[in-house]
């Protein structure tokens, strides 16, 4: 069955530093992969998605992610983090009729 794992529960980075959030998937075929962000009191917002084609996907708010089949990974990156990026980030893979989410990575941004 399709699933994703986010190995990091909590990450702290300094404002202006680069960011990489890890996501590993389990799926036999080519997966449909997503990254969502959830700020306190807000709904989940889609950052980017990968279906096929170019393995480097650009998203909103300056985020990008790279699909690596050999490593079963879909890591999220941002070259320079802003204080407003502090939130919970979820990786997800499409299931049969649903989205299957990882447990999330909480990002703290230090001034």
Which residues are near other proteins by CB under 8 A? 32, 36, 41-46, 49, 51, 90, 92, 94-104
The two structure tokens encoding residue 29: 């075929």
**Smallest separation, CB 47 to other proteins (Å):** 11
Nearer to other proteins, 74 or 90 (CB): 90
**Smallest separation, CB 43 to other proteins (Å):** 4
All residues at 6 or more sequence positions from 1 whose CB lies less than 8 Å from its CB, including other chains? 26, 95, 100
**Smallest separation, CB 31 to other proteins (Å):** 10
Cβ 87 vs Cβ 38: under 8 Å: yes
Nearer to other proteins, 41 or 111 (CB): 41
Strand pairing report for 105-110 and 10-14: parallel
Nearer to other proteins, 14 or 30 (CB): 30
Query: CA separation (Å) from 79 to 8, 13, 30, 65, 94?
Result: 19, 12, 27, 11, 27
Nearer to other proteins, 56 or 60 (CB): 60
């Amino acid at each position: 069955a399709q699933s994703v794992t986010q190995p990091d529960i909590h990450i702290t980075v300094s404002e202006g530093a680069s960011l990489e959030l890890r996501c590993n998937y389990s799926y036999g075929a080519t997966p449909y992969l997503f990254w969502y962000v959830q700020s306190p009191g807000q709904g989940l917002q889609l950052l980017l998605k990968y279906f096929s084609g170019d393995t480097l996907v650009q998203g909103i708010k300056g985020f990008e992610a790279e699909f690596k089949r050999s490593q079963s990974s879909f890591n999220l990156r941002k070259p320079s983090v802003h204080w407003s990026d502090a939130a919970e980030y979820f990786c997800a893979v499409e299931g049969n009729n649903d989205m299957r989410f990882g447990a999330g990575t909480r990002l703290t941004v230090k001034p």
